[in-house]
């Protein structure tokens, strides 16, 4: 069974390249990469001219993925600190 993942990536080509490489290293196949404009708050039309947005990456994986039960935010943050990612 194929599982699909959808994630966003910053509007930066270097970051996108690194993220695509990381996804491919897991054995996933990149299905699509699409750039999307930043969503605007109502009334802030001046932001439409800045041209920033993000990339959306769609990938498929052959193995079935198991979702972890959601942890309380404090516990998840503590794990990130221990791993050196926060």
Domains of the chain: total: 1
β-pair partners for 66? none
Q: Is 78 inside a domain boundary?
A: no
The tokens describing 54, both together, are 């993000």
pTM: 0.60
Q: pLDDT for 37-50, tens place per residue? A: 877 666 666 655 56
CA–CA dist 10, 48 (Å, integer): 17
Does residue 9 surpass a pLDDT of 50?
A: yes
Residues of the domain holding 9: 3-65
Q: Residue 29 belongs to a domain with what CATH number?
A: 3.30.70
Residue 39 has a pLDDT of: 73
CA–CA dist 58, 30 (Å, integer): 6
């Amino acid at each position: 069974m194929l599982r699909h993942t959808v994630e966003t990536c910053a509007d930066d080509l270097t970051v996108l390249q690194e993220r695509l490489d990381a996804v491919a290293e897991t054995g996933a196949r990149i299905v699509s990469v699409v750039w999307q404009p930043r969503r605007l708050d109502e009334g802030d039309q001046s932001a439409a001219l800045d041209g920033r947005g993000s990339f959306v990456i769609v990938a498929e994986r052959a193995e079935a993925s198991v979702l972890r039960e959601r942890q309380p935010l404090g516990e998840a943050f503590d794990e990130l600190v221990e791993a050196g990612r926060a």
